[in-house]
């Protein structure tokens, strides 16, 4: 069986991201390229309908830029901890599943690795990022179960 040479690891930058990266390194060939990807959803998309659009929220763009810098730092630390080169660390902006699919297609990714929690109840009906990635990917997807008591 051929090994994967070009792998996208989607992370949420929580402490559980390390579990997903550990699994990626177990699977990856020693010559494989691992791309570490975090997708930042635009704040106006996340809070639409919840937060009133008023002068009080006119600084949302500044807040989003500040958050972006903090995310870059967290991704850099995670990349350093797992020896992922800085040019393989990517912060994308938009809908997570859409951006992961786009990146995978544009970069000839052979395997997407993403963490998932066991979905129950309403979450199961609404779906999850991992589910959306799985059903729209043009390559193999490995869903790593995290945060589950064994």
Number of domains in the chain: 1
Give a yes or no: residue 44 inside a domain.
yes
Domain containing residue 27: 6-145
Q: What is the DSSP letter of 19?
A: H
pTM to 2 decimals? 0.82
Give a yes or no: residue 112 inside a domain.
yes
Closest CA to 13 of 59, 94, 79, 101: 79
Give a yes or no: residue 68 inside a domain.
yes
Give a yes or no: residue 64 inside a domain.
yes
The residue ranking higher by pLDDT, 67 or 109, is 109
Task: Tell me the per-residue pLDDT of 100-115, one tens digit each, with 9 for 90 and over.
Answer: 999 999 999 999 999 8
What CATH number should be reported for the domain holding residue 117?
Answer: 3.40.50.620
CA atoms within 13 A on the CB side of 64: 17
Give a yes or no: residue 150 inside a domain.
no
Give a yes or no: residue 30 inside a domain.
yes
Grade residue 62 by pLDDT with cuts at 50, 70 and 90. Answer: confident
Give a yes or no: residue 66 inside a domain.
yes
Residue 59, pLDDT > 70, answer no
CA atoms within 13 A on the CB side of 109: 27
């Amino acid at each position: 069986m051929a090994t994967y040479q070009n792998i996208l690891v989607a992370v949420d930058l929580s402490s559980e991201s390390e579990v997903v990266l550990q699994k990626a390194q177990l699977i990856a060939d020693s010559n494989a390229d691992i791309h570490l990807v975090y997708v930042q959803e635009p704040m106006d998309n996340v809070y639409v309908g919840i937060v009133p659009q008023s002068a009080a929220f006119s600084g949302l763009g500044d807040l989003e830029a500040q958050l972006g810098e903090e995310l870059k730092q967290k991704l850099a630390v995670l990349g350093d901890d797992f020896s992922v080169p800085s040019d393989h660390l990517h912060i994308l902006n938009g809908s997570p599943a859409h951006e992961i699919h786009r990146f995978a297609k544009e970069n000839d990714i052979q395997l997407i690795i993403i963490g998932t929690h066991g979905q129950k109840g309403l979450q199961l009906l609404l779906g999850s990022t991992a589910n959306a990635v799985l059903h729209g990917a043009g390559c193999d997807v490995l869903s790593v179960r995290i945060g589950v008591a064994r």
